Amino acid sequence: MTDDTLLNAAQQWQRGAGTRDALVAHLTALGREDAPVITDLIQHLRAHAGQDQVGDAPRSTDGWRDELMGSRACTWGGAGMLVGPHVLILTDGQRGVVLGERDTRALSSSVSGSLMLLCQTIVMAEHALNQREMQDLREQRLQSASTSLSEIDPIR
């Protein structure tokens, strides 16, 4: 998939001709090796981004906190995405954009770096949680099997 395809999907969502879920599906279909595609997409989106505070993005600290706390994250090596309730944030750690339903805003490098760290932290925490759950399931299966086997009476 090329950054042109992704750019078209983003623009379609913002024009009302596509859905945010379709854009997210395109993005999450990319592999770790596709980080340069995300970086190129960010660059293209930043070229058309507004610097004002209008649009769908939260305007208050509480609004941003709610948006970030309700986010899901994805990373591609050196790039990351936060999918909040209302906006989609793409960052490569140095540059970033906030995509709303009707607008695109560029992020400063310091904010982009912080959001990249947040993406990585969320993904690592999810991975660790999944590993812990898998280990718990393995232990339960072993305990269940050993309990079941110990209940079988030997033939004498």
Mean pLDDT of 28-43: 94
Q: Does some domain include residue 156?
A: no
Rounded (10°) CA dihedral 80, 42, 25, 11: 150
How many domains would you assign to the chain?
A: 1
Asked whether residue 55 is assigned to any structural domain, the reply reads no
Cβ contacts of 115 within 8 Å, gap of 6 or more: 80, 82, 89, 91, 96, 107
- pLDDT for 99 equals 95
Question: Residue 60 domain-assigned?
Answer: no
Q: Is it the case that residue 5 has pLDDT exceeding 80?
A: yes
Instruction: Decide: 91 and 42 in contact? Cβ < 8 Å.
Output: yes
Q: Is residue 73 part of a domain?
A: yes
How many helices (H) and strands (E) the chain has is answered by: 5, 5
Whether residue 117 lies inside any domain: the answer is: yes
What is the domain range of residue 85? 3-50+65-147
Q: Look at residue 52 and tell me whether its pLDDT is greater than 50.
A: no
pLDDT at 150 over 80: no
**Average pLDDT of the residues in 84-107:** 94
Average pLDDT over residues 55-76: 83
Residue 82 located in a structural domain? yes
The answer to whether residue 11 is domain-embedded is: yes
